[in-house]
Structure 1
Amino acid sequence: MTARQVLVVDDEIGIRELLHDILQDEGYQVKLAENAAEAREWRQHARPDLVLLDIWMPDCDGISLLKEWGTGGLLTMPVVMMSGHGTIDTAVEATRIGAFDFLEKPIALQKLLKTVNAALKHGELLPKSEMSLLNLGKDTVITELKQRLSQVAQTKLPLLLIGEKDSGAELCARFLHQPTTPWLVLTDHEKLAEAPIDLLEQYQDGLIFLPEVAVLNKTEQKGLLLLISKAEKFGVRVVCGTAQALPQMAAEGIFDAQLLQVLSTTTLGVPRLEDHREDIPDLARTLALQLAESNEAPYREFDVASLNALRNAAWPGNLVQLDSVIRNLMQTSLGEKITLEDVNRVLEQFADAQLSADFVDAKQLANNLTINLDLPLREARDAFERLYFEHHISKVGRNMSRVADNVALERTHLYRKLKQLGIKIKA
């Protein structure tokens, strides 16, 4: 079994060497940092099992570094603070921010070993680093998004998040979610139609998130409206996301106007990845570090040119596409560092795959739309509608509820139309 890794951060060389020798004799791997800058750099590349962190250091005090790790989503390991001038107030403050415990210098041997052992056991229960709104970026648009979400968090009103797919709506919803309370990403939309109140009872005092509200059919929309109207009674926050123009859908009769009115009470726009490009280098490092911490791939540094290339690339797939590219780079690059050539290689592969998919889709569409244009108008229209409905039926695996939703027709109207066109709907 690999030895547990302890990072000791202290500006006094005597303390560092003493702790190094004691912990190494106990079978731990010990890494040393003489100031906050070294500790910060070390944490960017790896996740130790435990950090012993001095409070008083010349470049940055330990409390500030602890706060920095906490707000940056990097406080995923136990931290024990150390100080020769400790006070009760300092210990309380450190614990409030996220420190596991506090050791006062000079540190007694038995107290040190007991605390280290308890901290490591506690660390086994902590979640590893994962993407969150805290490490999504520092650009103005992200900072303002966090501020607005913090304001919204003061109430439990329903929230509508508007933005491109995979731009971070779920991260926003998780930001509003209170730890230890129920959480649901609702993808089984039939539950809205069948038993919306049961959902509220099951996830009482928690948060229910619908990634895309525009895909709900009329019955499911009515169910969501009922769920929202009763949510406050059960202490449930409802957060919905959409990448569609809901007002236009409501004007066309596809989306329930009353539901739109309720959702429009509180709305926030979620920026695309390309709207905060300056955050992409830090995001790339964060994703790479998470892969290393979960043992999915060894950590590799990025050179400056590779980060510039990532920042300037097109990201139509937003965060999911960036995550795929970083995984690819970490797992397939040959050198110790990710280079510009590595980034270009992977980005070109994605571009070629997309171009090929677009070509195939266009070719299939052209083949399918072979209609005799010399037919009378009514017959030509029927031929087109037949192709249109057959395409949608095939696309959703003959799920007629989804077909009705996608083509914006009531089920009874849809069945009548299919019968008129001679389309059999039984498998």
Structure 2
Amino acid sequence: MANILVVDDELGIRDLLSEILNDEGHSVDLAENATQARSARQANAYDLVLLDIWMPDTDGVSLLKEWSMTGTLTMPVIMMSGHATIETAVEATRIGAFSFLEKPITLQKLLKAVEQGLSRGATAAAGAKAADPGAEATPAAPVPALAEAVRHAGDEVAAATVVSAPQGPLAHQGFDLDRPLREARDGFEKAYFEFHLAREGGSMTRVAEKTGLERTHLYRKLRQLGVDLGRNRRGN
């Protein structure tokens, strides 16, 4: 059994995560904002924290940075958000977040992330104790899931641009960096999804699995980016 803190300003999400984690045998504390999360962290030692990014008083990334700077980031922290940008997720993992869960959070992804976080935290604590039996556990090395995915995707797209630029659906994947950040990011994301759609023959199921997105969110994202769903489509 692990001690877990869930920090989210939405009552429904707090209750749902608490119910799931309690059913798994964990002890769960709840906080609806950063103020309550600070108090809970000062009063208790947690094995894992699930931390929402967007909150009304202090955002989750700022709270994560605060814990890191004050030496209280001694547990794996999994960030959660339904509206975070790639930059926000990368910044969180750079500060020390273990991983990132995109809302709506599926049961399978939640349990897998919690299991991996607790495992990494236990490994870090055991290593710290072996090195210095009197030392407090140091934070688990972050596993920047989304940041790593972005870097990997960037490598794939860059390679495809260099190797395959003159031919096929990848020929358009050049990036104009002399423009506003949001436009540049949208351009990258569009190229990223078009790349995977072309490689998977338009299969939305396989693209969803490859990119780690729920199909509903994937469809919404593609429409938002103006991706042509008919191109290279052979089925789902």
Q: Deviations over 1:92-123 (max 9, x none)?
A: 11100000000000001100000000000010
Structure 1, unaligned runs of 5 or more = 132-427
Select 1:121's aligned residue among 114, 119, 122. 119
Select 1:55's aligned residue among 39, 53, 56. 53
Select 2:69's aligned residue among 68, 71, 93. 71
Alignment of 1:24-103 (within 5 A): 24-103=22-101
Q: Does 2:43 align with 1:23? A: no
Q: Distance in 2 between matches of 1:105 and 1:7?
A: 18
The alpha carbon displacement at 1:86 in A equals 2.0
Q: Structure 2: which amino acid aligns with 1:46?
A: N
Q: Distance in 1 between matches of 2:37 and 2:112?
A: 24
Q: Distance in 2 between matches of 1:62 and 1:54?
A: 6
Q: Distance in 2 between matches of 1:130 and 1:70?
A: 17
Q: Distance in 2 between matches of 1:43 and 1:15?
A: 20
Residue aligned with 1:118, SS: helix
Q: Structure 1: which amino acid aligns with 2:107?
A: L
What corresponds to 1:348 in structure 2?
none
Residue aligned with 1:111, SS: helix
Residue aligned with 2:78, SS: strand
Q: Distance in 2 between matches of 1:85 and 1:37?
A: 22
What corresponds to 1:110 in structure 2?
108
Q: Structure 2: which amino acid aligns with 1:45?
A: A
Q: Deviations over 1:291-311 (max 9, x none)?
A: xxxxxxxxxxxxxxxxxxxxx
Q: Structure 2: which amino acid aligns with 1:16?
A: R
Q: Structure 1: which amino acid aligns with 2:50?
A: L
Answer yes or no: is the 8 Å Cα contact 1:91–1:102 preserved in 2: yes
Q: Structure 2: which amino acid aligns with 1:72?
A: T
4+ residue runs of structure 1 moved beyond 3 angstroms? 127-131
Residue aligned with 1:21, SS: helix
The alpha carbon displacement at 1:46 in A equals 1.3
The alpha carbon displacement at 1:13 in A equals 0.3
Q: 1:109 to 1:35 in 2, by over 3 A?
A: same
Q: Deviations over 1:347-405 (max 9, x none)?
A: xxxxxxxxxxxxxxxxxxxxxxxxxxxxxxxxxxxxxxxxxxxxxxxxxxxxxxxxxxx
What corresponds to 1:9 in structure 2?
7
Q: How many residues align?
A: 130
Q: Distance in 2 between matches of 1:43 and 1:28?
A: 17
Q: Distance in 2 between matches of 1:114 and 1:38?
A: 26
When the two structures are superposed, what TM-score results if normalisation uses the length of structure 1? 0.29
Structure 2, unaligned runs of 5 or more = 129-133, 137-236
Answer yes or no: is the 8 Å Cα contact 1:9–1:39 preserved in 2: yes
The alpha carbon displacement at 1:130 in A equals 5.2
Residue aligned with 2:42, SS: helix
Alignment of 1:12-411 (within 5 A): 12-127=10-125
Q: Distance in 2 between matches of 1:36 and 1:125?
A: 28
Q: Distance in 2 between matches of 1:68 and 1:130?
A: 21
The alpha carbon displacement at 1:125 in A equals 2.5
The alpha carbon displacement at 1:88 in A equals 1.6
Q: Structure 2: which amino acid aligns with 1:104?
A: E
Residue aligned with 1:75, SS: coil
When the two structures are superposed, what TM-score results if normalisation uses the length of structure 2? 0.53
Q: Structure 2: which amino acid aligns with 1:30?
A: V
Answer yes or no: is the 8 Å Cα contact 1:8–1:33 preserved in 2: yes
Answer yes or no: is the 8 Å Cα contact 1:67–1:97 preserved in 2: yes
Q: Distance in 2 between matches of 1:75 and 1:130?
A: 14
Q: Distance in 2 between matches of 1:18 and 1:65?
A: 23
Q: Distance in 2 between matches of 1:22 and 1:89?
A: 30
Residue aligned with 2:124, SS: coil
Answer yes or no: is the 8 Å Cα contact 1:76–1:126 preserved in 2: no
Answer yes or no: is the 8 Å Cα contact 1:77–1:126 preserved in 2: no
